[in-house]
Chain A
Amino acid sequence: MWSWDYVISILPDLLRAFRVTIAATLAGFAVAAVFGLLLAVLGRSGWKPLRLAVRAFVEFVRSTPLLVQVFFLYYSVPMLTGLSLPAFATGVIGLGIHYSTYMSEVYRSGIDGVPKGQWEAASALNLTKTRTWLSVILPQAIPPVIPVMGNYLIVIFKETPILSAITLVEMLLTAKNTASVTYRVFEPYTMVGVIFLVISYAMSLVVMRFEKRLRR
């Protein structure tokens, strides 16, 4: 039933698709990291309406499925704005926005971990708000939460197959296309499953080591 020849014949296609998966993962993670930081900082704004708006945004995005958000971005946004983006960009923005809400919570825990005295010291030194954030708070808040962010890199990696729904030719869609040509489903899907399993597990070991080192 299992044919190694067939596996070898589809490997080049899968490897090409793997690059797309990795590119989407890294780009999505970058968007999530930047936008998440923005949400975390804005969520601490002194202006209450802004704080509430950020809170509502985070709650809403976190409680709705990534798949539907990606559909919304891919099909609705062009109709509303006249601006249409390719599948890759849409997928990256979708992943990025979705996980920025998770990431903002991670940053928030980091920011909460900075002792109050640091804020007081910054105001005693008469630093501006921007200076306080950039030179005092964030350099202390971010390093401790980097391993947790690593976990979200893994999560985003595992979510990329969802982007096959908006025709991004990543690994799952490649396997699906191969299967529809050859009528052999077992090998391609198993291969994709194994690749995800191995890479995620290896990444989680790296993150765990990183966490342990940081804790020491």
Chain B
Amino acid sequence: MEPTWFKLYPLLLEGTKITAQVAGLSAVLTLIISAAAGLCRVSGFAPVRAAAKVYVDFFRSSSLLVLLFWIYFALPFAGIELPKLAAAVLAISLNCGAYGAEIVRSSILAVPKGQYEAAVALNLNPTQTMWRVIFPQAFLRMLPPLGNLLIELLKSTSLIYFITMSDLTYEAMILRNNYYSWTPQIFLLLLVIYFILAAIVTTIVRLLERRFAAWR
């Protein structure tokens, strides 16, 4: 059966909405986890540092797809049943958060020592030092790598196809079943849509970068 581009459009739009939803929720949770775990990694309290390191090592070493399978298919056998959206967001955020934590940590460590000394000289307490002096400077360094991380996050949302969430990839597979002869066109279109979504993320990060660089 020969489709027209217009016949492809509604399903792909539905898929894009799901992909954007999962990506958006995961991005928010990833940034929260990254900041929390990254700050814990530079904490003065050794047990907190160690716990954060265990978290980072654990999730950086595990395979995201296997993690997603485990959370969605295996966890119910342990009595924890999560809806698809929650399982997807949780798996992606825990995984990306571990990478984000390393970005936060290395950016904080890259702030020159003199800044800490200056904060001590001004008699700021550790919380004030972090929030008023160190973090704002580290934040600017974090933006480019966090932008890359968000692209990786966006790409990884395609894996939710495996738990039959009707995201972009899943809808494209349905379209492919219906219009088999258009397989190459459908996948090319799919790649282009992901590329456009990634370009949107890149543009937003660039705008933020410029804004914060100017604000400094």
List A residues at the B interface (Cβ < 8 Å). Answer: 1, 60, 62-69, 71-72, 75-76, 79-80, 157-162, 165, 172, 175-176, 179, 185-186, 189-190, 192-193, 196-197, 200-201, 204
In Å, the complex CA distance between A111 and B94 comes to 35
Interface string of B65-76 (1 = CB under 8 A from A): 111011001100
A1-B77, A64-B195, A186-B77 given; 15 more Cβ-contact pairs under 8 Å: A60-B195, A65-B157, A67-B161, A69-B191, A75-B187, A76-B184, A80-B184, A157-B63, A158-B64, A159-B63, A186-B74, A189-B66, A189-B73, A192-B66, A192-B69
Contact B194 A63 (CB under 8 A): yes
Contact A67 B191 (CB under 8 A): no
Q: Nearest chain-B residue to A201 (Cβ)?
A: B61
In Å, the complex CA distance between A62 and B187 comes to 16
Contact B62 A63 (CB under 8 A): no
Taking the closest CB of chain A, its distance from the CB of B36, in whole angstroms, is: 22
The residue in A158, A160, A200 that gathers the most chain B C-beta atoms within 10 A of its C-beta is: A158
A-B contact pairs, 30 of them (CB 8 A): A1-B77, A63-B195, A65-B158, A67-B169, A68-B190, A68-B191, A69-B191, A71-B169, A72-B184, A72-B187, A72-B190, A75-B176, A76-B183, A76-B184, A159-B63, A162-B65, A165-B161, A165-B162, A172-B65, A172-B66, A175-B69, A176-B69, A189-B66, A190-B74, A196-B63, A197-B58, A200-B60, A200-B61, A204-B60, A204-B61
Contact B151 A63 (CB under 8 A): yes
Contacts of A185 in B (CB 8 A): 73-74, 77
Contacts of A161 in B (CB 8 A): 63, 65-66
The residue in A72, A157, A176, A204 that gathers the most chain B C-beta atoms within 10 A of its C-beta is: A72
In Å, the complex CA distance between A158 and B62 comes to 7
Taking the closest CB of chain A, its distance from the CB of B38, in whole angstroms, is: 18
Taking the closest CB of chain B, its distance from the CB of A56, in whole angstroms, is: 10
In Å, the complex CA distance between A66 and B191 comes to 10
Contact A196 B195 (CB under 8 A): no
Taking the closest CB of chain A, its distance from the CB of B84, in whole angstroms, is: 16
In Å, the complex CA distance between A64 and B141 comes to 25
Contacts of A160 in B (CB 8 A): 63
Contacts of A66 in B (CB 8 A): 155
Contacts of A175 in B (CB 8 A): 69
The answer, among A65, A76, A189, for a CB contact under 8 Å with B156, is: A65
Q: Does B78 make an interface contact (CB < 8 A)?
A: yes
Taking the closest CB of chain B, its distance from the CB of A176, in whole angstroms, is: 8
Contacts of B198 in A (CB 8 A): 63-64
In Å, the complex CA distance between A80 and B161 comes to 25
Contacts of B176 in A (CB 8 A): 75
Contact A193 B70 (CB under 8 A): yes
Taking the closest CB of chain B, its distance from the CB of A184, in whole angstroms, is: 8
Contact A196 B62 (CB under 8 A): yes
Q: Does B130 make an interface contact (CB < 8 A)?
A: no
Contacts of A193 in B (CB 8 A): 62-63, 66-67, 70
The answer, among A65, A75, A201, for a CB contact under 8 Å with B183, is: A75
Contact A65 B61 (CB under 8 A): no
- What are the nearest 5 A-B pairs in CB distance? A63-B198, A65-B158, A76-B184, A186-B77, A200-B61
Q: Does B159 make an interface contact (CB < 8 A)?
A: yes
